[in-house]
Amino acid sequence: MQPTQQKAWRAGRFWWDWPSGASQPGDAQAKPLTKLGAVIFDLDALADIENAGHRPAFNAAFAELGLDIEWSPARYRQLLALPDERRRVAAELRKRGVSSECDVLAELLVDEICATKAMILDETILDSDISARPGMVDLIAEAYGAGVGVGVVSCGHHTWVEPLVRQLIGEGVAGAVVTADDVPRGALYRTALAELGARAHDSLVFAGSQASQRMATAAGLPTILVDGAEATPLRVADCQRMHDSWHETHPRPTAA
């Protein structure tokens, strides 16, 4: 990795908990521990699905329900600090004096907004202006060409996730596309590993949210959290080094 790439990582454009003394990306002396077998992408890490897909769908839902609310990209980024969309909608309504936390009618309105948004998202997302984050398509193409398995997981509906993945990275590139329609959310990464025929120990995850990161690490997978900022493109060799550094600092228990 070149000095500009190292600077990008230190700036937090991709965040990973590099402990003191561990091998960093670009460490010329680092040697692979095990060959990287698979890279698995949370769909939100592969593309900005929240801002380019969910936000416009919410705005369309607000308009359809006659609500004078429109989320700008900046406002939506603020709301993403809340862990789920129901809380985001409820927070917006409270801010505008529409509801209180214990208001039953407000809860029904939140339900209606979220249901309308889900219907609109399902109908429109494949026609939305969604593209892969800079460098991701090249990284995936290099991994695919090198025989590294490529998987994608998402909490969205399989009916639009799978065709969207094809739009973003090409036909037949992803060896596994697993959604919350297919398995419980907690099993997304383990199922992707099984479909790729890969082991957690030999794989690397790009997560698009802290919740996704927690699910991946709970499955024993080294994980990088993509924070949504512009980032210097990565190569498979960089992924290999990050994979190795994670295992250096998270050794597997040995049998007694």
Q: Coil, strand or helix: which one is 104? A: helix
Given this model, what pLDDT does residue 26 score?
Answer: 46
Q: Coil, strand or helix: which one is 6? A: helix
Q: Give tens-digit pLDDT for 38-91.
A: 999 999 999 999 999 999 999 999 999 999 999 999 999 999 999 899 999 999
Domain 38-48+130-249 falls in which CATH fold? Rossmann fold (3.40.50)
Output the pTM of the full model.
Answer: 0.81
- Domain regions of the chain by residue span: 38-48+130-249, 50-127
What is the percent of the chain with per-residue pLDDT over 90, rounded to a whole number?
66
CATH code: domain 50-127 is: 1.10.150.240
Three-class SS string for 75-117? HHHHHCCCCCHHHHHHHHHHHCCCCCCCCHHHHHHHHHHHHHH
Q: Give tens-digit pLDDT for 76-98.
A: 999 999 989 999 999 999 998 87
